Amino acid sequence: MGSRLAVCFAVAVFVCCGIVSNPALAHKVNLFAYAENGKIYVESYFPDGKPAEGGAVEVLDSQNQKVAEGVTDKEGKCTLPIPKKDDLTIVINASMGHRSSFILKKSDLGE
């Protein structure tokens, strides 16, 4: 009887964890950025592989000040000039509350 109760409890916990974690996945957007030839290249997509089209991209410096902004294209990409040599945080705000960030270190920005 005790083991049956333990199994029921374990199943209930598993189901609750599944219910709680699904909304978090629903608001995930993947973001990757890199610097090359004086530009920042941003790529973004949802967990199902669809590009994050029309996402608002912001570039923040180490003082958390916005130094550049752009919008992703139909492929979920955006290209911006490197605004300054600093540690930069790239942030995307996509549709329906999807948000993610990526840090480019000053050393990653090249010469």
Range of the domain at 72: 28-109
| CATH, residue 45 | 2.60.40.1930
- The pTM score is 0.74
Q: For 26-34, what is the mean pLDDT?
A: 84
pLDDT of residue 18: 47
Average pLDDT on 18-30 reads: 57
Asked if residue 40 belongs to a domain, the reply is yes
Cα of 5 vs its chain's centroid, Å: 41
Instruction: Report percent pLDDT > 90 for the chain.
Output: 63
**Tokens at 78, concatenated:** 């955006």
What does the alpha-carbon distance between residue 29 and residue 106 come to, in Å, rounded to a whole number?
24
Read off the pLDDT of residues 40-79 as tens digits, 9 standing for 90 and up: 999 999 989 999 999 999 999 999 999 999 999 999 999 9
The single-letter code of the amino acid at 28 is K
Structural domain tally of the chain? Answer: 1
